[in-house]
Amino acid sequence: MSTSEIDRLRQRERFLEAEVAQLRRQLAGRPGPAADAPLPEAAILGNVLDVAIIASDLEGRVTEWSTGAEHLFGWTAAEMLGQPLERLFTPEDRAANRIPAERRQALREGRAIAQGWQLRRDGSRLWASSELMPLQQADGTASGFLRLLRDRSEERTASRRLAESEARYRTLFEAIDAGFCIIEMRFDARQVPVDYRFIEVNPAFERQTGLVDAAGRWMRDMAPEHEQHWYDIYGRVALTGEPARFENAAASLGRWYEVHAFRVGEPEEPRVAVLFNDISDRRRAELALQKSEAHWRGLFGQLREGFVIGEVVRDAFGRVTDWRYLDVNPAWDDLTGLPREQAVGQTVRELIPGIEDEWVDDFARVVETGESATFTRQVRQFGRWYEGRAHRLEGDRSPCSSWK
């Protein structure tokens, strides 16, 4: 490489600015020229390890081979000088005439930029970014080419993994039945949350909320009566980074939701991801059940007959040996003289030691056969006779009887 070509190389310092700056830092404080003195060719070619700097003549034979090129590809300068640069290219690129095409582009446009596979000495491949520039003589004619290559294998692997991860996320995002959105919070001057904007929503979002074309819009514009507690919860998640799981009503949407909210992105970006399910049907069923239980609990307490709900107790062989009181009504207290608090949770044999086996056997038959039974029998310990009916409610659990 001639002195005039090195001078023109320095004029292309923008392509090596980062490498030269790093080299200057490495040389700072060492004996020799000042840090701002022009760097000799040997310094550029010998100290930049993460960039391969390769010069070639017009036919593509290597005329300069830097330490970085040796580090990247494995061949020494002695092995590469005078050798065709084609040995760095894959058979596919050689077959596609990539090398002469890059040379023509560099001569026509001043440089040719590309990315692709390159071959190492051991036959392995690396993904590299490449920039090819013509080297010109004093009369402006080209005397060869300068090629700069940097290993981009790690970046390519990371990029591919990110793309695969995003593809998996996108598939899940679009396939799940649950609603999902990413929102951006708006706070007033006192850091009180006042609104949020939908950044992204999944296909199930509209079905779960009834809100159409929500992406990019503010919640206050779409549902002005939306309750403040939603803004407060999401605002707290955005500010503290602490996730929240909860169930809450959205009266303005006429729905109940089960929600998992968590912060995404950087803390200074007040963004929250929200995964949610419409549980309105479940909540309506629960409320109906509560009303039904309250209704029957009222009747249960007002019955003048004694009423017992219990479950059988089995031994290790599956035989019924006892039964346990799960609930009794107030009339049962009057008929037996035993307080409810004493009975619930106890078995009949624990509550009334020595009670006749028939009191257990009758309930066992009801549970085993599913057939209701009536009885008239004495509880000797109480000195009382009782008339009753027993019915199986479900499985082993809860034969119930009325006494009088």
Q: List the CATH number of the domain containing 349.
A: 3.30.450.20
DSSP assigned state of 382: T
Amino acid at 338: L
Cβ burial, residue 64 (10 Å; 0-12/13-18/19+): buried
Shared-domain flag, residues 249 and 143: no
The answer to whether 238 and 263 are in contact (CB under 8 A) is yes
- Say if 298 falls within a structural domain: no
Task: Give me the number of domains the chain comprises.
Answer: 3
List Cβ neighbours of 259 (8 Å cut-off, separation of 6 or more).
244, 245, 246, 247, 248, 274, 275, 276
Q: Which residue has the tokens 């059940």?
A: 289
pLDDT score recorded for residue 300: 55
Instruction: Give pLDDT, residue 6.
Output: 43
Give the model's pLDDT for residue 296: 54
- Position 163 scores a pLDDT of 75
Taking a C-beta distance cutoff of 8 angstroms, is the pair 82, 54 a contact? no
Looking at residue 165, its pLDDT comes to: 74
| Portion of the chain with pLDDT greater than 90, in percent | 43
Residue 258 identity (one-letter amino acid): E
What strand order describes the sheet that includes 306-314? 320-328, 306-314, 397-403, 384-394, 373-379
pLDDT at 357 over 80: yes
Contact between 366 and 392 (Cβ < 8 Å): yes
Q: Would you give the DSSP letter of residue 98?
A: H
Is residue 31 assigned to a domain? yes
> Is the model's pLDDT at 249 over the cut of 60?
yes
Among 330, 381, 374, 337, smallest CA distance to 356 is for: 381
303 pLDDT higher than 70: no
Q: Which of 24-33, 112-121, 245-254, 296-305 is the least confident region?
A: 24-33
Q: Which helix (H) or strand (E) holds 209?
A: helix 203-209
Clarify whether residues 40 and 183 are in a common domain.
no
DSSP reduced 3-state for 205? helix
pLDDT value at residue 380:
83
When mean pLDDT is compared over 23-27, 198-202, 331-335, 353-357, the highest value belongs to 198-202
Asked which of 54-68, 171-185, 345-359, 385-399 is least confident by mean pLDDT, the reply is 385-399
Residue finishing a domain among 226, 250, 282:
282
Is residue 68 assigned to a domain? Answer: yes
Query: How does pLDDT run across 146-156, given as a tens digit for each residue?
Result: 999 998 888 88
Residue 65's pLDDT is what? 93
Residues 312 and 345 in one domain: yes
pLDDT of residue 291: 67
pLDDT computed for residue 26 by the predictor: 42
Q: Please name the residues in contact with 163: beta carbons below 8 A apart, sequence gap of 6 or more.
A: none
CA distances from 147 to 45, 113, 119 (A): 12, 10, 15
Average pLDDT over residues 284-312: 69
Tokens representing 195 are 């609104």
- Looking at residue 205, its pLDDT comes to 93
Residues 123 and 258 in one domain: no
Q: Are strands 384-394 and 179-187 parallel, antiparallel or unpaired?
A: unpaired
Q: Indicate the range of 89-98, 110-119, 394-403 predicted with least confidence.
A: 394-403
Question: Same domain, yes or no, for 182 and 253?
Answer: yes
Asked whether residue 358 carries a pLDDT value surpassing 50, the answer given is: yes
In a shared domain, residues 346 and 239: no
The residue from 253, 282, 311 where one domain ends is: 282
Cα–Cα distance for residue pair 208/190, rounded to 1 Å:
32
- Does position 50 have pLDDT exceeding 70, yes or no? yes
Tell me: do 224 and 351 sit in the same domain: no
Over residues 364-390, the mean pLDDT reads 83
Nearest Cα neighbor of 103 from 73, 146, 139, 140 is 146
Tens-digit pLDDT profile for residues 267-291? 888 999 999 999 988 877 777 676 6
Domain residues for 42?
3-156
Residues with Cβ within 8 Å of residue 144, at least 6 apart in sequence: 5, 55, 56, 57, 58, 63, 134, 135
What pLDDT does 333 receive? Answer: 76
Share of the chain above pLDDT 70, in %: 80
Q: What is the mean pLDDT of residues 13-22?
A: 46
Collapsed DSSP state (helix, strand, coil) of residue 310:
strand
Q: Check whether residue 337 and residue 387 sit in a common domain.
A: yes
Average of per-residue pLDDT values in the chain: 81
Write down the pLDDT at residue 383: 79
Judge whether residue 216 has pLDDT over 90.
yes
Please tell me the predicted confidence (pLDDT) of residue 401. Answer: 56
**Residue 276 and residue 364 share a domain:** no
